[in-house]
Structure formats: C-alpha cells, structure tokens
Amino acid sequence: MKIGVMLRHYKQHEGGVKVYTNNLLPNLFTLDTKNRYVLMYQGHDLVGTYRHFPNVEEVALPIPGTILWDQVAAPLLARRKKVDILFNPKFTIPLFSGKKRIFVLHGSESFMIPDTFIWYDRLYCRMTLPLYCHLSDAFISVSNNVKNDIVRFADVHPAKVFPVHNGFDRKLFHRIEDEKYLEQVREKYNLPEKYIFWVGQIYPPKNIGRLLKAFAQIRDEVPHDLVLTGQPAWQSEKELRPLRDLNLENRVRFTGWVFHDDLPGIYNLADLFVLPSLYEGFGIPLVEAMASGCAVLTSKTGSPPEVVDGAARLVDPMDVDEIAKGMKEVLLDHELRKSMVEKGLHRAEAFSWEKCARQVLGVFEKVYEGIR
C-alpha cells in the first residue's frame, strides 16, 4: 500500500490530537516496513521531520487556509503520488478524492455537550462531522464510548467504526524513585509539599469552574493546594472566576508552561490527579497519571470509565458536592489511595502507542482489502 497522511494540523496547539499524531506516526513507520507513506504538510519547514524512516516521503503543500488544502491540494497530491489510502489523524477528509479515506475521531463532544462550544464551531461540527463519517471508507474512534456516541447521533453503521485506544509514552511516564530529580521538579515549578494536580486546556468542557468550587469546599479539611497546568482558551476567564469569588488565590497555583519531560515528575509528586471533565473522548492524562503512580479522580460520564476501568474514583462532573466528597475521601484515606495507585499502575499496562499503531495498521489493511 501507499498511504497518504494529511498533516495540516501538525503545527496546531499542544493538544491531544498533536500528542496522538506525534506518537502514532513514528510507531507506525517503525512497525510497518512493507508499506510506503507520503506525509503532506502545509509548510516547508516540517519537511525532514521523519527523514530517518526509509518508508516515508515528505511533501509540502503551501496552500493557505483549511478548505483549499483539505479539499483540493491534498487529494490532487494523492492522485499524483498514486496513493491508495488517504489518512487524517484529525477529523477531516476530502469530499472527493477517488481514494480510500480514513480519519480519526477523537471525541463526540459537539453532539454530547454542544452548549460548551462557541456557536460557529458547534455549527461547523454539526454540519461536517456526519458528512465525513458517511463519506469515509472507515474511521477510527479513540474509545468504544465515542463509537457508540457517533453511531447514535450520526446514524453511522457500527461496522464502519474501529475503536482504537490511545497510548502513552512508557519511557517517560512511570514511577520515579530519584528523589533528587523530584526535588528539582518541585523547585522548578514551585510546587507545594502536598497538592492535587490538573492538566489541560482551560475552557468550558474541562469543567474547571466546578473543580474550583469543589476545592473551595474542602480547602480547610485538607493540607493540599490545587496545582493547574494548562493553556487558557475560550471562556477561560469565566471558568477561573471562582478563584476570585471564593478567595482561592493563595491555595491554587498555576505552573505556567511545563516541559513535557517534567510532567512525570509532577504526576509522581501529586497525591491526586483530577480530571472531572464534562466530556473526554479518551483522556491521555488519565493513563499518564496512573502509570506515574498517582491516584485519579475523574468523570463517570464519557470515556473515562472505559479508560480507567475501575482504577479511579468516578464522580458526576455536574455535581460540585460529589467532586468535593470524592477528592476529600481519596486525600484523607491513605489505604484507599494506596489501593487506587496499585490498580492504576496495573491498568496503565493495557495501553501503548505501539499497540495503537498496530491496530491502526490493521484498519488500513482491512480497508485496502475491501473488508468492512
């Protein structure tokens, strides 16, 4: 096979889709030595990123914007390069290409929690996502939960959707015994002695406002501060309003930009990782935290229950009291937390980017052979 990979999104913000792409591709190229890959970038500066893989060709398509690049430039190049399959790790495909088309669906939040998105993003997803689902030859969902959502809301045949779990960097995220290194991380980011940790983009789906309100309920009962690592995004000011309204400034800390290599240290030093999102398509930080030996509290809705599989404390993300009660129980019950850590370490063993790449390759082969 010759597989064209659409990488217009490669220079986007450091979010889950980019983490997925950065980890999937090298594992795929290493695993699959019999097929060839044509990588399509929007800019010349990325050409050479994967030059050390002999089965990879890299091409720049310096066409500005999104529609022309996705719908004209990419399919024309695919035709010129005689590509068999067009693959996009993000959720767009050319409407007309004459090629087999596969994309990755990282979540169905536009259907599940539409009110948390700005109106034009909501409208765009509602109009285009079902279209891409129906026109694709197959698509990959990052969880069974996402598959069930999209089958229900977009009326897609289940056989067309292939659930493939994300992975995590096993070399980076693990238990760390090096006390000197951990202390360096603590000093570098001015971390308190005891803390609860959260990481992500600060915008409504991540539910930071309710997390802050829940923390305010227990701040006098636990010695922990709340440490937030993330980028402000749409409506972040509204989400962070409880900081001021509830006088939390002296108990909530922002780390600012964190180098990816330092994240394992921050997980290892935390007593609890919290991700009570309104919706998660997968939630890679859940696996990173479990693999790092950190107890986890997350939502009972969306995909987190599937990802943690009994290894975390589950709460209703809409219920501030339940989030507060869950955090308090885990933080004050040492034996409970110890048990959660052990279960989390075991659960994390089920995930890897190599496993993800192997299953993605399997989808390519099924589509190429015409098997649904």
Question: Given this model, what pLDDT does residue 15 score?
Answer: 67
For residue range 168-183, list pLDDT tens digits in order.
999 999 999 999 999 9
Phi, then psi, of 271 in degrees rounded to 5? -90, -20
The alpha helices in the chain, defined as continuous H runs, are 16-31, 67-68, 74-80, 109-112, 119-135, 144-154, 179-188, 208-218, 236-239, 241-245, 263-269, 284-291, 304-308, 320-332, 334-348, 353-368
Give the model confidence (pLDDT) of 190-243 as tens digits: 999 999 999 998 888 899 999 999 999 999 999 999 999 987 777 788 889 998
pTM of the model: 0.92
DSSP-derived secondary structure for 201-246: EESGGG-HHHHHHHHHHHTTT-S-EEEEEEEE-TTHHHHTHHHHHT
**Element (DSSP H or E) covering residue 32:** none
Of 350, 276, 271, 274, the closest CA to residue 309 belongs to 350
Identical fold for domains 2-167+353-368 and 179-348, yes or no, is yes
Residue 50 structure tokens: 């994967």
* Cα gap 256→315, rounded to integer Å: 27
User: Regarding the domain with residue range 2-167+353-368, which homologous superfamily does it belong to in the CATH classification?
Assistant: Glycogen Phosphorylase B; (3.40.50.2000)
- Summarised one tens digit per residue, pLDDT across range 29-76 is 999 999 999 999 999 999 999 999 999 999 999 998 899 999 999 999
Residue 343: how many other CB atoms lie within 10 Å: 18
Class of 179-348 in CATH: alpha beta
Per domain, the residue ranges of the chain are 2-167+353-368, 179-348
- DSSP one-letter code for 114: G
